[in-house]
Amino acid sequence: MKLHMLKSALSALLVFGSVHTTPAQEISAMQAPKVVSPEVGPDNSVSFRVFSPNANEVTVNGSWMGFRETLPLTKGEDGVWSATIDPLPSSMYHYNFFIDGVSAIDPTNPEALRDGTRYASLLMVPGAGASTFELNKVPHGNISKVWYQSPSLESYRRMYVYTPPGYDSGNDKYPVLYLLHGAGGDEDAWSALGRANYILDNLIAEGKAKPMLIVMTNGNAWQTSTLQNKPGVETITRENRAQFQGKFEESLVKDVIPYIEKNYSVIANKDGRALAGLSMGGGHTITASIENPGTFGYIGVFSSGIFDANADMAELEKKFTALKASGVEKYWVACGVDDFVMDSNKRLLSILDKTGLEHEYHESAGGHTWANWRDYLSIFAPVLFN
């Protein structure tokens, strides 16, 4: 998909690149028609447009549709393809064009998202449903891209650190949420697709969440940063992936937390630490918390659970019992009713019930989607550190 998108991007450059090198009197004759896309109407209907005069077919797929569904666009005489969809509920979405079967982001939309090697264009339908995710006129925190040494993984790695509004001008110590991404993602996922910094900016401004740091790490133990493998590590396969099992969770506790507590003004105890993650990151959350009881006071598991149906449940019960004894302030679990990990989620809930570890369960509509994970963070963050 990445190669296809690169070809689409190069094609767009060939069409528009001459604007910078062609004499001014020739520009108007070579320019494409003015295209506005996406365009949200007063009733929240959305129009999509793309200039592709030589294309035979153009369709669009959006996150509000099924994974394999597409909507055809109609070609105009000016070479602009267009389609208008029925009103969408106020929220954040993403979409891609398919030009003669080749996936492409919207060339007139500057807001693009990346999830691993997958790229898409951002669509924000304004209103109450999107207000928590939007860039609103409130005080904003900062995101820093921080490099740190990880002895556990024998590599120099990168993480994103969000500091809340007012952090740099005061002497207060803040609690920390360690927030983990899913498979295919990296340290960029929770800020790019998850909008974690905007969610916290808005919740803090509304008095719904306490000011806190968010540490967004790269949970792929074979990587140093976005799409960069450690030196000497070739392409990850099913066979060589096993060597990294449990390594990230170890590095989180032994390397990341000590770095944060040494270099930032934070509360360095269990009650000042929260850990949460989605999908694979939820699995990392489960493992890191039960292998290190007493480290995290708040735990959130989003669209995850105990993935291995053949896991040693007796051994897991011992570990969850020890976690319970360590004193967990909040154990929060969430999953969509249509999520393919629901059976795994139910195994987690079963062991929480069996060990008597008090927890809260939030079940939403939908499946394994960022729409759910953004909502889960906006619900989870307000219950932290109270």
Phi-psi region of 227 (alpha: psi -120 to 50; beta: other; left: phi over 0): left
Minimal CA–CA distance to 328: which of 374, 373, 384, 248? 384
Rounded Cα distance, 226 and 185, in Å: 8
* CATH, range 142-383: 3.40.50.1820
Residue 28, both tokens? 């108007």
The length of the chain, given as a count of residues:
386
* One-letter identity of residue 287: T
Q: Quick check: 344 and 306 in contact, CB under 8 A?
A: yes
Residue 277, both tokens? 């993650």
**How many other CB atoms are there within 10 angstroms of residue 66's CB atom?**
8
Rounded Cα distance, 133 and 126, in Å: 10
Q: Residue 16: what pLDDT?
A: 36
Q: Residue 17: what pLDDT?
A: 37
Q: Which pairs with CB-CB distance under 8 Å and at least 24 residues apart come from 145-151?
A: 148/255, 148/256, 148/259, 149/255, 149/259, 150/251, 150/255, 150/256, 151/254, 151/255
Those residues with Cβ within 8 angstroms of residue 18's Cβ, 6 or more apart along the chain or in another chain: 30
User: For the chain, which residues make up each domain, given as ranges?
Assistant: 2-127, 142-383
| Cis, bond preceding 38 (omega within 30 deg of 0) | yes
Q: What is the DSSP string of 52-110?
A: -TT-S-EEEEETTS-TT--EE-EE-TTSEEEEEEPPPPSEEEEEEEEETTEEE--TT--
- Can you name the CATH fold of 2-127? Immunoglobulin-like (2.60.40)
Q: Residue 1: what pLDDT?
A: 40
Q: What is the pLDDT along the chain (386 residues), one digit of tens a residue?
A: 433 443 444 343 333 333 344 444 443 434 678 999 999 999 999 999 999 999 999 999 999 998 789 999 999 999 999 999 999 999 999 999 999 999 999 999 999 998 888 899 999 999 999 999 999 999 999 999 999 999 999 999 999 999 999 999 988 999 999 999 999 899 999 999 999 999 999 999 999 999 999 999 999 999 999 989 988 887 887 777 878 889 999 999 999 999 999 999 999 999 999 999 999 999 999 999 999 999 999 999 999 999 888 888 899 999 999 999 999 999 999 999 999 999 999 999 999 999 999 999 999 999 999 999 999 999 999 999 99
Q: What is the DSSP string of 199-215?
A: HHHHHHHTTSS---EEE
